[in-house]
A = this chain, B = another copy of it.
Amino acid sequence: MEYSSKLIENAVTEISRLPGIGKKTAMRLALYLLKQKESVSDDLAGAITALRKNIKYCSLCHNISDTEICSICNGKRRDKSLICVVEDIPDVLAIENTSQYNGLYHVLGGVISPIQGIGPDELKIDSLINRILNSHAEEKVKEVIMALPATMEGDTTSFYISRKLNEHQIKVSTIARGIPIGGELEFTDEVTLGRSILTRVKYSPD
């Protein structure tokens, strides 16, 4: 494409570097910004710069945070004997949104994937073990919940971590897998359905 302005060309190039945004969408976004007040662009640009420049990661759970220790790890009402291990930051948000969990988190920053060259050392696994071993008194970690993706990589990572934790007699659990709530049996894939029969649980209506 040939643009009649270097400014728009530059903006389109930068915006289209974002994942999932092509040149046409970038152009649409740039033209949208042009039609808004100048403060809209300024606020957007400011928020992006500030985010990248000032963001911190919690030194305990590696979630994004504005402080050295994040608000969840520092939360007074949080059950500090529970740690939920997740792949990445959006997973923390997803679980928080359920309002069903009141423990702490640990963000691994990925899962073990030999194909992508990600081994245990690239992830925050040692940091998880140390964190658990260093916990004491009321904050002693009693259970670790694996909430990793239901893929081969996720399963491998869960297996690796659980073996490490078994050495230290920590209870390890994993989030339930089965047919989703509201799911029809006939539309559930065979693997999920098969596993949901094998891993059936005691019927307990609530």
Q: Spell out A's residues near B (CB within 8 Å).
A: 1-8, 10-11, 13-15, 17-21, 25, 27-34, 36, 38, 40-56, 58, 63-66, 70-72, 88-90, 92-93, 96-97
Contact = CB atoms under 8 A, between A and B. Distances in A.
Contacts of A54: 7
A145 to B, nearest CB: 18
A55 B15 contact: no
A25 B14 contact: no
Given A4-B64, A29-B19, A93-B1, A45 B49 contact: yes
A176 to B, nearest CB: 24
Given A4-B71, A7-B55, A15-B48, 12 more contacts: A4-B70, A5-B70, A7-B54, A10-B50, A13-B47, A14-B43, A14-B48, A19-B29, A21-B29, A31-B88, A34-B64, A42-B49
Identical chains bound together, number: 2
B45 A8 contact: no
A93 B28 CA distance: 12
B5 A44 contact: no
A13 B90 CA distance: 16
A69 B65 CA distance: 48
Contacts of A38: 52-53
Contacts of A15: 44, 47-48
Given A1-B93, A33-B48, A55 B18 contact: no
